[in-house]
Amino acid sequence: MSATSTPVRGGARALLSAMRPRQWVKNVLILVAPGAAGDLSHDNVIGHVVVAFVAFCAVSSGSYLLNDLRDREADQRHPTKRHRSIAAGQVTTRVVVAATIVLFALGFALPLTISGPGGLELILGIYLAVSILYSLWVKEIAVIELASVASGFFLRAYAGAVACHIYVSSWFLVVVSFGAFFIVVGKRSSELSQVNIGGTRKVLSEYTPEFLHSALTLSATVAVTGYCLWAFDTSSTGLSSVRHHIVPIRLSVVPVVLAILFVMRTSESSEGEAPEDLILKNRTVQILLVVWAVLLGLGVY
């Protein structure tokens, strides 16, 4: 098989590929709020987190199927997206529509197993609405599309708090919001640095390296400031009301800052990588994340 040929997949495998299971790693953000609050060891919390995780996987995969079905013709002309299962004709429209209905039904039904109709369904509904609007229209509007994608990260993190009935502070909202915006801007910066490779987003023509650099700096500054304010907040109004060991929590600022600086340096290089790719592939970023998780765990638990 040549490097440019489309891989041959069976029906079930092609459908699973179209659901983009690799993107499910984003749903780990659901752990952030209960983890930082020190509630992961409490009764039923893990079960609620698992339900929220699976629900988001189902709804997000359904939205990916809808998006790829709508963009099938455009993807067929794209140098890399033409290899996607739907664009390559490896899964039929009827199967895609049926799978989408099942995934949405599963995603919105699962929260009912942990509580009555309420907050988690609302968050899933907002996520789905934003995803559909992004696919139909927003993805071609500069800046607004950045906020739209970032909202997906924010909603995942907030869903963890809602599913587990955990109070979240203003600092939580600040850190998650601007941290998400930082990731999205970093991704666009990486894509713009590789614009000559071919097959890029239309909206990239609306951005300049200078603008994205400024946006990356702004979002990183606010995210780090918010995290520092939380880490050094000794009151019970911070992200976590559990403050058994304040020193490790304060030290966790170090790997956060280093990771953000590393991502900024890499995303703006000529061989820039998106933040999500760095998290999955880069050993330095992975080590910094582990150090951060250990310090936060020592402080909270």
At 149 the pLDDT is: 93
Mean pLDDT of the chain: 84
- 69 lies in the same domain as 187: no
The model's pLDDT over 230-287, given as tens digits with 9 standing for 90+, comes to 888 766 444 444 445 788 989 999 999 999 998 888 876 655 566 666 777 788 888 9
For the ranges 5-9, 58-62, 166-170, 171-175, the maximum mean pLDDT occurs at 58-62
177 shares its domain with 268: yes
Domain shared by 220 and 281, yes or no: yes
Range of 35's domain? 7-140
101 and 182 inside one domain = no
pLDDT tens digits along 73-128: 877 877 777 888 888 888 889 999 999 999 999 999 999 888 766 789 999 999 99
Q: Identify whether residues 174 and 298 lie together within a single domain.
A: yes
Query: Considering only 42-46, 52-56, 221-225, which range has the smallest mean pLDDT?
Result: 42-46
Are 86 and 96 a contacting pair, CB within 8 Å? Answer: yes
Total domains, the chain: 2
Question: Residues 65-75: pLDDT tens digits?
Answer: 998 888 888 77
pLDDT of 1 reads 43
Residues 126 and 184 in one domain: no
What is the pTM for the complete model shown? 0.84
According to the model, what pLDDT value does residue 169 have?
A: 80
Same-domain status, 190 and 275: yes
Report if residue 159 sits inside a domain: no
Residues 23 and 78 in one domain: yes
| Domain-terminating residue out of 87, 119, 140 | 140
* pLDDT top residue among 82 and 152: 152
- Does residue 35 sit within a domain? yes
